[in-house]
Every structure is written in structure tokens, then in C-alpha cells.
Amino acid sequence: MNIGLLGCGAIGELIVEAQVEGILEDIDIIIVYDQDRGRAEKCASKMPKPPKIAENINELIENKDIQLIVEAASQKAVRDYALKILENDKNLMIMSVGALVDKEFYNLLVQTAKKRNRKIYIPSGAIAGVDAIKAASLGKIHEVELITRKPPSRFISDKLPGGIKINQDMKEPTVIFKGDAKTAQDFFPRSINVAATLSLASIGPELTKVTIIADPTIEENIHEINVKGEFGTLRTYVKNLPSIKNPKTSYLAALSAIKTLKKISEHIEIGT
């Protein structure tokens, strides 16, 4: 299967490396695009047979030889280009899932995909238990909670609610957000996509509870999920090491994208 890559940051680079290492043996990356051409060139240079570097976004989206575009850029890229990608009869994998907490936009993408007979793929990302939560959602789910802990440095560039200030001299864990998944995305568009994925797999962004803690005592990104419903109780706990390419990206999130690509091209599926 021929694919195009939208975004050549940490996740994009790891996808390219997986293809070079033979992990994605049935996947060919034939065109890449990034607003920063230098990053696109860096990605392309890693491949024995370098892909085409698109000069602009339209050159990527309108390429007739690709079946799937992998978005690994930003929520803004999803909002700006996802609809056009589907309308150009391309399947789409979305990593910046936070863009989908906008219910109207989400429904528009789903309707367009259905009309065009296209697929939208959303990897599990940096959390565990999404397969069980999807199954549980066929019954009644009463409560979904995400508790995320990250080192303070992960939030330095975010605009925090209530005038909260983050600094490198923090000594104690501090709750910097408590609310629903939709509001969490407004404040943390780059660092809490897991909240969107969890909410879309369960009871929706407005009902999914999110607590975010800046914790100077840890170096990892920690995500704890608690779900209660007719099925019983589910609890997962994941301690993610950050990607060496970008500390705001969990390595597991990149591996999730790679595994989703493998799943698309494989002939057997394990799990929900």
C-alpha cells in the first residue's frame, strides 16, 4: 500500500524508520510533506529510496498514487486538511486526535468518509485498554476518568487555566487541570491527545473526566484510566517513556501508529 506522510516530526520520523527497518514491509511511503521543508528532507534522507517531497499540501493530498495519508502534524492540520483528504478519496490516519472533540467537525468527517467509502483510523496512542473500552461501550458505561501525570517541563508552552504557573523549581505534584476531555483539549492541544482518544472510544468528550498533574518527582508520562459500567470495572496504568526525538511525544504513541499501519496491511487481526 502506498502512503503519504503529513508531518515529519517525532512520530513521522519513527514511521519512516520502521519502514526502513522492514517492520512495515507492505507499506511504501512515496511522498512526504511538512511545513518545515528541512524536516521533510531529513525524513526522506533516511530511506534508501527517498520519497517525493511535496512542495505544498495540495501536492500531497491530490497525489493519485497513494491510498492513505498519515497525519502526524498538529490539530490545526487535521482541521485544515482532513476533510479535503477524504474528499480526494484518500483514507486517513489521525494522530492529533484532539481536533475531533469538536462534535460537528467529527460528524462531518464521519459522514464524508461514509459517502466516499473511505476509512479514518485513530490509533490507541499512549494509553492502554482502548479495545476493552470499545467493547464495553456497546453496553452502558457509567463513568470514564483519565488521570495524567507529566513532568512540569512538558507543560511549559501550554496556556494553563486559572492563571496557574509552571516553573522548573516546583517541588510538589500540582493539579493544573480538572474538568472534561473537551475543555482539556482547549488548554493542552499538544500534550493530551489521549483524552480525546479515550473519550471517542467511550462516552464522549463532555462526559469524560480528566485530571492533569504536573509532577516534578517523575520523568515519565503516566496515564491512569478508570472506567465503570455494566460490564464491571476497568483500570489501566501506563508509564510511558518520552520519545527521544520529542519529549512531549510518548514513544508508545509512535509505536501505536506503526502497529495500526501494520494492522491495515495484514491479513489477520487480533483484538477488538
DSSP string, 143-210: EEEEEEEE-GGGGTTS--GGG----TT--S-EEEEEEEHHHHHHH-TTT-HHHHHHHHTTT-TTT-EE
Beta bridge partners of 236: 225
Contacts 24+ apart (CB under 8 A), 262-268: 262/23, 262/24, 262/27, 264/1, 264/68, 264/121, 265/1, 265/24, 265/26, 265/27, 266/26
Q: Which of 70, 77, 81 is nearest to 28 (CA)?
A: 70
By 3-state DSSP, what share of the chain in percent is helix, strand and coil, each rounded to 5? 35, 25, 40
Active site residues: 223
Amino acid present at 102: D
What is the torsional sign of CA 81, 38, 2, 12?
negative
Residue recorded with cell 511549559: 156
C-alpha dihedral (93, 231, 101, 242), degrees to nearest 10: -60
Q: What are the angstrom distances between the C-alpha of 152 and each of 126, 128, 148, 174?
A: 18, 23, 12, 9
Phi-psi region of 232 (alpha: psi -120 to 50; beta: other; left: phi over 0): left
